[in-house]
Structure 1
Amino acid sequence: MADVKTGVNPLFLREEELRQGMELLFYAYRDFTAEPDAILGKIGLGRAHHRVIYFIGRNPAITVTELLSILRITKQSLSRVLSELVRSGFVTQRPGVRDRRQRLLELTEKGVDLERQLSESQRQRIAKAYRKAGAVAVEGFREVMLGIIDDEDRPKFTAKLDRAALKR
């Protein structure tokens, strides 16, 4: 039954539909990470390494502080993962230009190659789902995901879409 004022059907807010949404997120994450996990496992790395590689690749010259803010992990956890990635030749760090205490992180060629390998199956999976669902569903999905993430992170995505639209 639709709400007379809004025309919205609240049946999707029932407990079963909410639980199904939660389960779909769990299953999607499991399947979304399976192939990259297998690649990482062969070289002795894990999901934490993948997240660090991904966000450094998306944000060249990102500072450690900015990366900590995105990942919301402890400095100790990031330090361990970052040390392994630097030692393995996937990431470089250099001092900041204005503040020499800052560490700017970038992927090496080896890191760029690994990021591409890890992301390829994920890009294909998302592209296939987007094509199948269509533009209206993709926008609905985007709205749902924006609704799930914390308020402070939402502007990051609207700003990225605004910049992408300007490039077209």
Structure 2
Amino acid sequence: MALIHRPLIPILILLLLGGAATAAAQTRSPWADEHANTPHLRGVNEVSEALVRQGLLRSPSIRNLQRTIARSDVIVYVRLDPSLTSRTHGRTMLAGEAGCARYVFVDIAWGLPERRALAVLAHELQHAAEIAANAAVTDADSLVSAISAIGWVTGRGT
């Protein structure tokens, strides 16, 4: 089992606190009401779907983030990506808007230990929840504006 390094402590605190209080958690979109039985958090294959299931079973933070996202028009696809570097364990990308839904990809580095992968998943889902909370984020330009407003650092896989 891998040792926990100091840079992981903030992520673990996030997981333990289990909170993702966003405006999206309080406001349900009409699209979400209409598509209540459609999962808003999806793996793209069996392996990524298993990671999502483990996250929902084991992490109150991931469950809270999933609920927040489910109240929105955002659909999140989780992918395991072997091309991510050892420095970049995850990333969140807005794929765009189609119809009444916005699509987000959450990429997790392939081959991480499960606990680390779940911590990265929670971190990236927080970004997806922030996108969900801001209905104005529909394309790359509006995402850059939102990122600037909330202080994300881009280009480093956060």
Structure ranking higher in strand proportion:
2
TM range (shorter): under 0.3
Structure ranking higher in helix proportion:
1
Question: Which protein is bigger by CA-based radius of gyration?
Answer: 1
Greater relative contact order, per chain length (Cα 8 Å cut-off, separation 6+): 2
